Amino acid sequence: MSALWIRHPLATFTANDQDAGNGIVVEDGVITELVPAGQHPEQPVDLNFDASGHVLLPGLVNTHHHFYQTLTRACPPALNKKLFPWLQTLYPIWAGLTPDALEAATELAMVELLLSGCTTVADHHYLFPDGLENAIDIQADVASRLGMRATLTRGSMSLSTDDGGLPPPHVVQDEHSILADSERLIRRYHRQDERGLLEVALAPCSPFSVTPDIMRASAELASRYSVNLHTHLAETEDENAFCLKQFGQRPLDYLASVGWLHDRTWLAHGIHFNDQEIARLGQAQTGVCHCPSSNMVLASGICRINELKAAGAPVGLGVDGSASNDHSNLMQEIRQALLIQRLRYQADEFTHEDALTLATRGSADILRRPDIGQIAVGKRADLALFKLDEPRFSGAHDPLAALVLCGASQADAVMIGGEWKVRDRQWLGGDLAALMTRHREAARHLYAKATGR
């Protein structure tokens, strides 16, 4: 085993206030030593990486995405719409998703995230039209091939327009199919690999697309196997109105009634909670994934991050689906989080380090992954290194602040489990141009099939 010293970084963000000012030592896929400022490693090292031009971060952790939506970015029929009509416009297009298209979308989204410094992803896939029953297997294969950590959430939709829900009947599944496949996936993939790459969570899509029976049954299955639960909640006021009309409850009351209000649940968006609901989330330690760009694009509102954290609820960061973002860049999402939270809080109440924490330790916390999200001895060697050599950084005095404030977007080097995945801003795992060509053709075909254009 070779010991690698990543030495002399411009700045290091550990997400835990430990001193790694002169870098870290990596061996056998884990961090074995933090080297304080002005010191050298205590143990012998075989290899050196000169990080004197880099800012060193824990690998970023994305806790909410919809990879398939990269195929419908800037989609004309869906532009300038609120959430519900936006979904109703896109469902018929997404219904044409094929296995090859999903594979291309998954790989493109994961590589785009990787290039932005992201090492762990959580994708929320809930579309299983005929012929795409093995969607999660496709994603597991791509993640394993890329060597990226992934929480694959087996989503579901069972409440169609015929039953008062939002999705059309041809994109929903029956309860038996959903639960049988959920259990199969847990048994096959959840924590089955030695590298700790793949986990599975259960993720009924939202209150307006699944029945209470599916919510309850998913909670019971997740409890039996001790896996996490994930769903969209409190994203818009329209959702509040839907839950009151359909269930006679606000979204959080509904969540509690189906057995979801606990520390194995994390929620996407979490915008429209009142003070009492925030207190309940904190008591239950239910996590919330902040999705700032998506919330801005769809004009959904601003998550109350500081109140949630003060109550005890862990908060992380996600890019959300690329059809509502429309990118898969987690480093840019950190800046968006800082800016949108400055519209809610004073400048000294939400800092660039707070924003970085969301995408590292905060996201790891809501996935219940204590092995990632920090630079500390014993953590997995998932790392992102950024250079400040572009015009946007010229004249910057604080390297860590510059990373966020000046708008870093692409990592120079990325490591997962001690293996380099990106060097010199280039993906080492394949031909990016060929991947983009395949992805663009899949996007063109999907749109043409639905619209005739």
Q: pLDDT value at position 159?
A: 86
Q: pLDDT per residue over 168-195, tens digit each?
A: 888 899 999 999 999 999 999 999 988 8
Identify the H or E element spanning 440.
helix 432-451
Please answer whether residues 170 and 129 qualify as being in contact, where contact means their C-beta atoms are separated by less than 8 angstroms.
yes
Please name the CATH architecture into which domain 3-58+377-427 falls: Roll (2.30)
pTM, 2 dp: 0.97
Q: pLDDT value at position 226?
A: 97
CB atoms within 10 A of CB 95: 18
- Partner residues linked to 386 by β-bridges: 55
CB atoms within 10 A of CB 6: 28
Q: pLDDT value at position 166?
A: 83
Q: pLDDT value at position 394?
A: 98
Q: Which tokens is 379 given?
A: 């953590």
Domain boundaries, the chain: 3-58+377-427, 60-366
SS3 state at 238: helix
Phi-psi group of 320: left, alpha or beta (phi > 0 → left; psi -120 to 50 → alpha; rest → beta): left
- The one-character DSSP state at 49 is E
Contacts of 135 (CB under 8 A, 6+ apart): 99, 102, 125, 127, 128
Q: pLDDT value at position 43?
A: 87
Q: pLDDT value at position 167?
A: 84
Greatest distance between any 2 Cα atoms in the chain = 67
∠ CA 154-176-253, rounded to 5°: 65
Alpha carbon separation from 291 to 135, 267, 356, 357 (Å, rounded)? 24, 11, 14, 14
- 60-366 sits in which CATH class? alpha beta
Alpha carbon separation from 337 to 162, 266, 430, 443, 447 (Å, rounded)? 38, 18, 31, 29, 31
pLDDT, block means (10 residues), the chain with 453 residues = 94 98 97 97 95 98 97 95 91 94 98 98 95 96 98 94 84 94 98 93 93 96 98 94 93 97 98 98 98 95 98 98 91 98 97 98 98 98 98 98 98 98 98 98 96 84
